[in-house]
Structure 1
Amino acid sequence: MTRILSATTFALLLAGSASAQIGGDPVTQETLVDRAEMMRIADAIDAAVDAKDWDAARSFFTDTIDVDFTSLVGGEPATIPADALIDGWSANLAGEKDSFHLRGNHRITFDGPDAATMTSHGYAWNRMPSGDLPENGGEDLWEVWGTYEHGFTRTEDGWRVDAMTFTATAQRGSEYVRDTPGS
């Protein structure tokens, strides 16, 4: 029993050290439900966007949000109404344009009892049939890999996203599909 306890204690100490090195706090009984909710929200945002359920997507954000998608579109980080973020997504992903988002390796750091930051790896693609046309480049797919960072704040309605950054690490495919709103 002593060996098992010592091995378990050692494993927990290593896990804590590794967690600190790669980002994120160790999972505890006190934070387990909050962590699960934050991961659910981030995944649900992706699912709502892919389903083009803009009301559902909007429900996961505070009224204003700090956004930084400069690695994809240039410009400067900004604080904008969440409604404007959703309006932009819905305009770009309209009609024939489909999307698929996937994320993993969620790492959560608590910045106090009512604030947290979640970092995760992300993959997304946009597909648009009109991209296949020769005049549009002849390719109907654009895809991107990168890192998401979501800021969370606890509100009276539960955890909500108040900041979102995407840092692209690689992308390939049709710039036409990336840049052209669906019709």
Structure 2
Amino acid sequence: MQEKDAVSLLTPSVKELQRVLYGGKRFGNHVDEVWPNLLIGDMSVANDRYSLWKLGITHVVNVAHGRMYSQGSHDFYGPTVDYYGVPADDSPSFDLSRYFFPSAEYIQNALDTNGAQVLVHCAVGVSRSASLVLAYLMIHHHYTLLEAINKVKERRWIFPNKGFLKQLCALDKKLHIRNSHQE
């Protein structure tokens, strides 16, 4: 069996992933801690500086940067919160994959900071932000896509759009190949 074929068997299809994502609870809080000191949230919590202060948020990744309903910016949060903006559309045709590695690096560097609390958000906190958190877990914690989905689903209902799932599948395959060469 070719190496690529073996890797394809390890990564579920988009349809199989959607079945997994549909399972479990189908409602969410405004914000949930899905990994130690890493939270996924929606725009209502991200646009509420008092809530962020109460949560102890030190870093914000806004995956809806520059969108009309998203107030996030360096000016909005002030000097106590480090801000990273990703100008993503929640559209299956949007190439979110170009942000997988830079966002994962930002999140890891933030979490390496003593006392950090990182909020990753978009509008609803189920597609764009969830996709970048899944990519982070895959890149920095060597989870497969399915393992990352199941880990996040323990704490939050997520549903990346079909295009993002395809991009995450491609990342999963790429990481499988890279990791098999390092063993």
Q: What TM-score results when the alignment is normalised by the length of structure 2?
A: 0.24
Q: Which has the higher contact order (CA 8 A, sep 6+)?
A: 2
- Larger Cα-atom Rg: 1
Q: What TM-score results when the alignment is normalised by the length of structure 1?
A: 0.24
**Higher percent of residues as helix:** 2
